[in-house]
Amino acid sequence: MNTPKTMKAAVLVDYGDLRVIEVPVPEIGPGEALVKVNCCAICGSDPGVIARGWQGLTPVGSFIPGHEFTGTIVAVAPDVIRLKVGDRVAVEPHKGCGRCENCLRGLYTTCLNYGNLAMGHRHMGFISNGGYAEYAACFDSMLHKLPDSISFEEGAILTIAATSLHGYERAGWVRPGETVVVTGPGALGLISARLARLMGAGRVVLTGTREERLAIGRRMGVDTTLNVKEVDVCRAVMEMTGGIGADLVVECSGQAEAAAEVMEFVRKNGRISFNGVYQAPVTLPLNKVVQWNLLITGPKAEGLWNLERAIPLMADGRLDVKPLITHRFSLDEINRALATFTGREGGAIKVLVKP
C-alpha cells in the first residue's frame, strides 16, 4: 500500500482559526493503525474545541480536531494482529492510559491520566489529533470493525449511539415497560429515544422545540412528542403516568432550564441521566434526590465498550441513523460545514465532512 508523504488536514492554527493545509501523514507507532478517513461527523462539542480548546488541553499550531469518524485501514504496526489492511473501521475517540485504576476497571473515558499523552492517553479530536484529515493514526483498541451493512456515513454516528448506551448502562438500562422521557431532539436525543424503544420501554416520550426534529423522533419510534413551546411537559408526563412520573429521564438538551425541570416529572425511585454539555452549574433540589430515592448519573462520552454494542443494532437496521445525516461537505469546505451545523441551516442535524 503506497501512502503519500503528505495529506490535507484541517489544522487549528490558533483558537478560532481552522485552516485546511498540507501536513505530513502521521507515522504509526507500536499498537497503531493508519486509517484513511472516509468521513468525520461534526459533533456539538467541536465548535467549542475549535473556538477555545477543551479543558485547557487542546494544543494549537498543528492540532487536527474531529472525533466521530470512519475509514479504511491502510497500514498496521507489526504488533497489531486483530486488524488488517483493508478493514473498514469506526474510530472510538478515547484511549485510556491502560494502567491507572479507572482504566484497569474499564472506565477508560475517565482515565486518571487524562491529557497525559506521554502516559499513553489519547482523546482524538480533543487533545490528540483527530479525523478532519485524509489520514489518522489510531490505536488498535480505538478501532471497531464495520460490517458491510453499515456505511461509512452511518458508522460515523456510532460514537453518539455508544454515548447514549453508556448513559443507559450507568442509569441501570431501560427495564421492560418503563416510561422513558428524552429531553432535547438533537442527534443524541433522537438516538437515545430510539434505543429506549429497542430496549423495551413501554412508552417513549421526546420533548423539544423544533417540530421538524420531533417529527423525525416519531419516525424513529417515539410514542409521544411534546413541543415545550405548546404544552406543559410536567403536566403532560404526570397525566400519562397516572400522576406518578417517568421511570427514567434522559436529559439531552444541555439547557439549564430543561435540566432543572426533569426533577419535576421523574417518579419516586426514578433515574435521571444527564447527557448534555452544560455551560454553567444548574441548581437542583437535592433533598428530593434523598427523599425520593433518585439515581442521578451521566456518561462521560462513549465508554465501557458500548460502541461495539451499537454495531449489531445499526447493522440490521434496528437503529437507523440515516434520517439524522442531513448535510455533506468536502474537507476544503469545513468552515462552511461548521457554520451550517452551528446555524442549524437547512434543518442541519449531523453534518459530515468528507476528506
User: Closest CB to Zn ion among 113 and 335?
Assistant: 113
Nearer Cβ to Zn ion (288/354): 354
Pairing of strands 179-183, 246-251: parallel
**Amino acid residing at 326:** T
Q: Is 245 left (phi over 0), alpha (psi -120 to 50) or beta?
A: left
Q: Tell me whether residue 36 or residue 67 sits nearer to Zn ion (CB atom).
A: 67
CB of 131 to Zn ion, least distance (A): 11
Q: How far is the CB of 143 from Zn ion (least distance, A)?
A: 17
Taking the complex as a whole, the smallest distance from the CB of residue 44 to Zn ion amounts, in Å, to 7
Task: Report, in Å, the least distance between residue 128 CB and Zn ion.
Answer: 14
d(CA 130, CA 67): 6
Minimum Å gap between C-beta 68 and Zn ion is: 5
Smallest separation (angstroms) from Zn ion to the CB of 139: 13
Cβ proximity to Zn ion, 110 vs 209, nearer residue: 110
For residue 187, the minimal CB distance to Zn ion (Å) is 9
Task: Give the nearest distance from C-beta 264 to Zn ion in angstroms.
Answer: 29
Q: Please name which of 202, 217, 216, 298 lies closest in space to residue 250, comparing C-alpha atoms.
A: 298
Q: Which is nearer to Zn ion, 80 or 97 (CB)?
A: 97
Q: Which residue is nearest to Zn ion (CB)?
A: 43
**Cβ closer to Zn ion: 116 or 335?**
116
Which residue, 25 or 111, has its beta carbon nearer to Zn ion? Answer: 111
Sites of contact with Zn ion (CB under 5 A): 43, 96-97, 100, 103, 111, 113
Residue 164 or 183 with smaller CB distance to Zn ion: 164
Q: How remote is the C-alpha of 116 from its chain's centroid?
A: 22
